Copies of this chain bind each other. A is one copy, B any other.
């Protein structure tokens, strides 16, 4: 069978060398673009490469170097648009520099996070982009420090004393949300979030609260924070409303919270923005096609990915100096889910036209 031959061993650098009539070392140099090779020999090597369809084996090639051309990426999950885009960006940026990206999901578990990191250390990756499950003080970052790994922390992180960090400017974005809501006349606002991700949640909460209080000292801000999981948050939110609390706006500090809020509104038959307003941190494609379109804070994924990789490669190439904490500006998209309070619907069915 002729097509069986396809399964044969791929040509190695020695096959190329013997066909070109030079040594393997010379072939290696030609492939690396070293200029001290006689043009004639270089040409023979190129011809042999062409004829045999030779390609450098990255695994063998990486064997001899301490830092291999592999970058690790660890994300809490892959299912959301944010991390999906992030992985996609990181992969393309790594590829541009001739690196291979190995991505793994910690599935929101710090234990798994550390395990994955250990495995990446086994691979002697040149660097790691880590979006920690909780924050920069978790066991994963500690592991990286203890093992002298180079890396960059992103997303659920503010700043660190050992690693560069890149994240969205949660505080400023939240301040802008506060400005918008206060400006529309809201004076009783509920903020929901997940306490686990301490650093960012605090930044978002503080940014929101301080600006809101500055603009309207009489504003009432309630906070419903669940510790770790989404379902408890749903329960707490249900309780909160059951007690008769009736804020005019809800600000969700993370995507799943926005979904929870929406589903609770549904349960109670409330409609945005007539009955209650809603803004969420994190944008998603569907938010602009629903009725109403959901207002959201858009994180600059490309910038975060880009600057994370920039910082990472700088460190890989030996850049010294104290860690840098970067904050990327967000965009706030005020869509139809935000209105003015007391703006009682044209009492009828008109709330849908």
Q: A232: which B residues are within 8 A, CB to CB?
A: none
How many interface residues does chain A have, given as a range? 35 or more
Within 8 A of B (CB), among A306-353: 347-349, 352-353
**Chain A, 141-170, contact with B by CB distance < 8 Å: what is the 0/1 string?**
000011110000000000000000000000
Task: Provide the bound-state CA to CA distance between A60 and B66, in Å.
Answer: 12
Contacts of A84 in B (CB 8 A): 77-80, 83-84
Q: Which residue of B is nearest A272, CB measured?
A: B291
Whether B103 contacts A10 by the Cβ 8 Å rule is: no
Is A124 at the interface (CB under 8 A from chain B)? yes
Residue A68 interfacial (CB < 8 Å) = yes
- Can you sample 17 A-B contacts with CB below 8 Å? A3-B148, A6-B148, A8-B148, A9-B66, A59-B63, A59-B68, A59-B123, A77-B88, A84-B84, A87-B105, A100-B102, A101-B103, A101-B104, A266-B291, A269-B353, A284-B286, A291-B291
Closest B residue to A256 by CB, please name it: B285
Contact of A62 among B55, B59, B262 (CB under 8 A): B59
A290 within 8 A of B: yes
A220 at the interface (CB under 8 A from B): no
- Kindly identify which residue among B10, B119, B262, B348 contacts A349, using a CB–CB cutoff of 8 Å: B348
Contact with B along A74-115 (1 / 0, CB 8 A): 000111110111011001100100001111110100000000
Q: A100-B102, A289-B266, A291-B291 are in contact. Are A56 and B88 (CB under 8 A)?
A: no
A289 lies within 8 A of B58 (CB): no
Residues of B contacting A62 in the complex (Cβ-Cβ under 8 angstroms): 59
CB within 8 A of A122: which of B57, B121, B353?
Answer: B57
**A288 CB-CB contact with B under 8 Å:** yes
Q: Could you tell me the distance in whole angstroms from the C-beta of A244 to the nearest C-beta in chain B?
A: 21
Give the chain B neighbours of A23 by CB distance below 8 A.
Answer: none
Copies of this chain in the oligomer: 2
Nearest to A87 among chain B residues (CB) is: B78
Given contacts A78-B85, A259-B285, A284-B286, contact A123 B107 (CB under 8 A): no
B291 touching A263, Cβ below 8 Å = no
Partner of A57, one of B95, B124, B146, B353: B124
Nearest CB in chain B: distance from A278 CB, A:
11
Q: How far is the CA of A289 from the CA of B353 in the complex (A)?
A: 20
A102 and B66 CA atoms in complex are apart in Å by: 21
A77-B88, A286-B284, A347-B349 in contact; A124/B63 too (CB < 8 A)?
Answer: no
With A81-B79, A105-B88 as contacts: A58 and B266 at CB distance below 8 Å: no
Closest 3 pairs between A and B when the two form their complex, measured CB to CB: A7-B148, A6-B148, A79-B84
A202 interface hit (Cβ, 8 Å): no
Whether A263 pairs with B284 at a CB distance below 8 angstroms is no
B124 A59 Cβ-Cβ under 8 A:
yes
Q: State whether the Cβ of A188 lies closer than 8 Å to any Cβ in chain B.
A: no
Say yes or no for A238: interface residue by CB 8 A criterion. no
In the complex the two chains form, is A352's CB within 8 Å of B269's CB?
yes
